[in-house]
Amino acid sequence: MEKKKMTFEQALDALEKCAEKLRDEEVPLEEAIKYFEEGLVHYKNCTEILSSAKQKIETYKE
Amino acid sequence: MAGKPITVSQLNNYIKRVLGTDPMLYNISVVGEISGFKRHTSGHVYFTLKDQNSRINCFLSSYNLSAVDFMPEDGMQVILMGQISVYEPGGYYNINVSKMEMAGSGDLAAAFQKLKEKLEKEGLFLEKHKKPLPFFPMKVAVITSETGAAIKDILSIIQNRNNICDILLCPCLVQGENAPADIRKAIENVNTLFPKTDVIILGRGGGSIEDLWAFNEEIVARAIFASKIPIISAVGHETDFTISDMVADKRAETPTAAAVMAVPDVAELKASVARYKSIIDNSMNSIIANHNLRMKSYDIHSLYSILQGRISLLGMEVERLKLQSKRDVDDRLSGNQMRIDELYNALDIKHRLDIYGMKTENLIIALQERTEACLNSKNRRVLAALESLKDLSPYAIMERGYAAVLDKFGKAVNTVKMLEPEDALTIVFKDGRAAAKVSSIKEN
């Protein structure tokens, strides 16, 4: 897994992909574990971003 | 009394005839404000035209509506052309509209149409130029009036939905002569000074067509087109269409709608992230449960005996290796012992050599002693012999007058056979030597 910081959209996409892969009953156990672990990482990233609540409001006036 | 009463029908019929034949009312032009605008399912349009004191019902057929080049709506000042017609059963009259124009802003409508065609021809409205809106913007710029209702609506909607995305407010004029240049400047400023902005909301609240006119100006349209940052245009109400809306990457019906479009609802996102998490958890649990079940269905006992077999094989191997290594160690130990023995023996030889050495030394000493003794006795005998030999020496003979003859090589001549005539000779006397030459030889 690349360690580069993902954007929220990328992390959410990746999380969704993991969920889809895991929904497949035929997925081999090793892969399932991989997707599960990846999914947890993406889930953590997503919730971290969504919980950041760091909104700034500024005004630009010439 | 005003004569004999007539029926209602007769009266309405009479009014219809009077109004219908009046040349003034047959082709009239009326200016007023539209209100109560209603479009029937048939496509015909009903509305009221009013001014400050009075109103009149109007009818516009779907056929005539299609010839109108703008979308009429309540509040619009329009000029209608048509004729007065009377609806006998209802007892009322209206204007049957054949043509409708925007009042006062006829020039504006024409300008709008012209600019729209021009920009359309240039391709500014093409779908391929539309930039997608970011799914999860981190910064939204809002270009609108500082004082209007729009800015409050946009702010409150964004803040309600999203507490992550930064908001950059760029106040500018949105109506009046200087508005277009001001709007352009704001768009350019956001692009150059805040290039990390993900999306721009450009707009204002509702107003008359004149109020909204800045958003129909070419410089605004071109600034929107040139923006590297996607722009949502939100001008006026649902029914207001401006050039800005057409050039922008996205049109929102209202500023509120634009705010909804610009930022995702964080609460919704949290819910869907949580949903994915539970899908992942549940799926993983069921996958594990499945595998557990499958594992249980396998014959554990045969697996056990296979493992037992392997374990005992491995045990044997271990024993073998143990033995082998012991043997190796033994071999090496005995090799070492042998060397030690050899060395020990070697040490013994040295010891013996030492003993021999000592013995030899003793023998040598004894030999020396005996040799010396022997030599001493021999010496005495030699001296005695020398004394007796003295008389036999050639010098003793020479005392008696004999001499020795030596050839040229210094060799004693003891026969004439060694000599040739003219050979040089040396004659040795007791007290000196004399050189001589053979003059002749005569054998006995």
- CATH number of the domain enclosing B142: 3.40.50.261
User: Which tokens hold the place of B257?
Assistant: 């709608």
Measured between beta carbons, the chain B residues lying within 8 angstroms of A43 are: 273, 276-277, 280
B135: nearest CB among A9, A18, A35? A9
Q: Which pLDDT belongs to residue B392?
A: 67
Distance CA B122, CA B114 (A): 13
- Residue A11 in any domain: the answer is no
Distance CA A41, CA B1 (A): 98
B188 pLDDT exceeds 70? yes
Q: Which pLDDT belongs to residue A1?
A: 44
B124 pLDDT exceeds 90? yes
Residue the block writes with tokens 């009322």: B92
Helix, strand, coil shares of chain A, percent, nearest 5, are: 60, 5, 35
pTM of the full predicted structure? 0.53
A11 pLDDT exceeds 80? yes
A12 pLDDT exceeds 60? yes
B284: nearest CB among A36, A43, A49? A36
Mark which residues 8-47 of A lie under 8 Å from B by CB: 8-9, 12, 15-16, 18-19, 22-23, 25, 27, 29, 32-33, 35-36, 39-40, 43, 46-47
Instruction: Please report which helix (H) or strand (E) contains residue B58, including its range.
Output: strand B55-60
Domain count for chain A, please give it.
1
Three-state SS for B32?
Answer: strand
Q: Which pLDDT belongs to residue B421?
A: 85
Three-state SS for B435?
Answer: strand
CB neighbours of residue B317 within 10 Å? 10
Contact B429, B417 (CB under 8 A): no
Distance CA B138, CA A8 (A): 10
B291: nearest CB among A18, A29, A61? A29
Q: How far is A4 from chain B (nearest CA, A)?
A: 18
Shared domain check, B74 and B34: yes
- Residue B12 in any domain: the answer is yes
Residues of chain B contacting A, Cβ within 8 Å = 134-136, 155, 159, 162-171, 185, 189-190, 193-194, 266, 269-270, 272-273, 276-277, 279-280, 283-284, 286-287, 290-291
Residue B288's closest CA among A42, A19, A29?
A29
Q: Fill in the DSSP letter of residue B41.
A: T
Residue B427's domain comprises 396-437
Look up the CATH number of the domain holding residue B88.
Answer: 2.40.50.140
Distance CA B239, CA B206 (A): 10
B171: nearest CB among A27, A56, A59? A59
Shared domain check, B214 and B122: yes
Instruction: Report pLDDT digits (tens) over B42-100.
Output: 889 999 998 878 999 999 999 998 888 788 888 788 889 999 999 889 899 999 999 99
B67-74: long-range contacts (C-beta < 8 A, 24 or more apart)? B67/B99, B68/B99, B68/B100, B69/B109, B69/B113, B70/B102, B70/B109, B71/B239, B71/B241, B72/B34, B72/B37, B72/B45, B72/B47, B72/B100, B73/B34, B73/B37, B73/B239, B74/B34, B74/B35, B74/B36, B74/B37, B74/B47
B423 CB-near residues (< 8 Å, 6+ apart) = B407, B408, B437, B438
Mean pLDDT over each residue of chain B, to the nearest integer: 87
Q: Is B148 left (phi over 0), alpha (psi -120 to 50) or beta?
A: beta
Q: Is B3 left (phi over 0), alpha (psi -120 to 50) or beta?
A: left
Residue the block writes with tokens 């007290």: B431
Q: Which residue of B has its CA nearest to A35?
A: B280
| B187-213 average pLDDT score | 93
Torsion of CA B98, B103, B108, B112, to 10 degrees: -30
Measured between beta carbons, the chain B residues lying within 8 angstroms of A29 are: 287, 291
Percent of chain B with pLDDT strictly greater than 90: 41
Instruction: Report pLDDT digits (tens) over B167-182.
Output: 999 999 999 889 999 9
Shared domain check, B142 and B33: no
Distance CA B167, CA B270 (A): 21
A57: nearest CB among B167, B269, B279? B167
A2 pLDDT exceeds 50? no
- Residue A44 in any domain: the answer is yes
- Residue B18 in any domain: the answer is yes
Shared domain check, B405 and B375: no
Measured between beta carbons, the chain B residues lying within 8 angstroms of A16 are: 276
B309 pLDDT exceeds 50? yes
- Residue B344 in any domain: the answer is no
Q: Which pLDDT belongs to residue B105?
A: 54
Q: Residue A4 — pLDDT band, cuts 50, 70, 90?
A: low
- Residue B291 in any domain: the answer is no
Residue A37's domain comprises 17-50
Range scoring the smallest mean pLDDT among B2-11, B95-104, B105-114, B397-406: B105-114
- Residue A6 in any domain: the answer is no
Percent of chain B with pLDDT strictly greater than 70: 97
Shared domain check, B114 and B89: no
B155 pLDDT exceeds 90? yes
CB contact under 8 A, A55 and B170: no
Contact B244, B221 (CB under 8 A): yes
Instruction: Report pLDDT digits (tens) over B28-41.
Output: 889 888 989 998 98
Measured between beta carbons, the chain A residues lying within 8 angstroms of B193 are: 60
The total number of residues shown for chain A amounts to 62
Shared domain check, B361 and B257: no
Q: Residue A45 — pLDDT band, cuts 50, 70, 90?
A: very high
Strands B28-39 and B139-144: unpaired
Strand-pair partners of B33: B50, B77
Strands B28-39 and B77-87: antiparallel
- Residue A55 in any domain: the answer is no
Measured between beta carbons, the chain B residues lying within 8 angstroms of A32 are: 283-284, 287
Measured between beta carbons, the chain B residues lying within 8 angstroms of A17 are: none
* Torsion angles phi and psi, residue B395, rounded to 5: -70, -35
Instruction: Report pLDDT digits (tens) over B243-292.
Output: 999 999 999 999 999 999 999 999 999 999 999 999 999 998 988 888 88
B171: nearest CB among A29, A32, A61? A61
| B392-396 average pLDDT score | 70
Q: Residue B1 — pLDDT band, cuts 50, 70, 90?
A: low
Question: Cα B435 to chain center, whole Å?
Answer: 124
- Residue A7 in any domain: the answer is no
Q: Which residue of A has its CA nearest to B279?
A: A19
Q: Which pLDDT belongs to residue B266?
A: 94
CB pairs under 8 A between A and B: 99
Q: Which pLDDT belongs to residue B104?
A: 61
User: Which tokens hold the place of B39?
Assistant: 């479009």
- Residue A46 in any domain: the answer is yes
Shared domain check, B56 and B14: yes
Interface check for A3 against chain B (CB to CB < 8 A): the answer is: no
Shared domain check, B229 and B258: yes
Domain count for chain B, please give it.
4
Shared domain check, B400 and B379: no
- Give whole-number Cα distances, A52 to A21, B50, B76, in Å: 28, 55, 47
Shared domain check, B22 and B126: no
